[in-house]
Amino acid sequence: VGRDQITDLAVLEIDGSGIKQIAEFGDSDALKPGETALAVGNPLGLGYAPTVTRGIISWPKRTIPVSLGKDGEFDWEMEVIQTDAAINQGNSGGALVNLDGKVVGINTLKVADMGVEGLGFAIPINQAKSIIETLIKDHKIKRPYIGVVTQDLQSYAGIESLKLPSDVKKGVLVIEAVGPGKDAGLKTSDVIVELDGKPVDGTLALRKYIYGHKKIGEKLAVTYYRGAKKNTVQVTLAELKDR
């Protein structure tokens, strides 16, 4: 029906004939550390033999950075439920339920470093509900975008070649400008340092400000350095299209 890469959620439609009972949503805001949770999943595609694992809620609300691409840079932050219920590959999309059998989260990821166990994460159902409802209604989540492919300045190896003032150490390096950003005059190698007069120190901060405070069609004041010269342009935000 619809999907959203940022929140890692999708809505599927199935044939409901023969289904006599469905799981109810619980209240993820009411979760407490130490509470028992059950994770339902289907690792390794075991077909009609799904797994059920039991654990506890380590922490009901944690913010963790996530990378949406393969560059390793953090693009977004997710608010998640941390649990030690065993979550394995194939559990993603499965339910995290409380002892009343109500869905309080959607299993999404785990820390898989060697020697680490019991670090699984689920999307809180209260956070997922509005996304799910919008996907059912509109088939997508509409978000504004500037039209820039970026890299954090502090992770760029050739910073000297940009000829920035010596005190500019953090910001958002424009790798490519398209759409609204290009129309406003932004170019490759520009370094964005402020949005609407507020400092931004990287791509994550840029994305959080735009998604959290701006709407499609609104103007955004983008302050940037082109070499040693500081400029500000007005960008008219367009709708981010699903890639």
Q: What is the pLDDT of residues 37-72, one digit of tens each?
A: 999 988 776 666 678 889 999 999 998 887 776 666
User: Residue 100 and residue 39: Cα distance in Å, rounded?
Assistant: 13
Are both 2-138 and 144-239 of the same fold?
A: no
User: Residue 122 and residue 132: Cα distance in Å, rounded?
Assistant: 15
Per-chain mean pLDDT for the chain: 90
- And the tokens for 207? 């994305």
User: Residue 132 and residue 11: Cα distance in Å, rounded?
Assistant: 7
Q: Which CATH fold topology does 144-239 show?
A: Pdz3 Domain (2.30.42)
pLDDT higher for 194 or 242?
194
User: Class of 2-138 per CATH?
Assistant: mainly beta
pLDDT higher for 212 or 25?
25
pLDDT higher for 148 or 119?
148
pLDDT in the model for residue 111: 73
**Considering the chain, what percentage of its residues have pLDDT values greater than 70?**
92
pLDDT in the model for residue 184: 96
> What are the boundaries of each domain within the chain?
2-138, 144-239
pTM across the whole model:
0.77
Report helix, strand and coil shares of the chain as percent, to nearest 5: 20, 35, 45
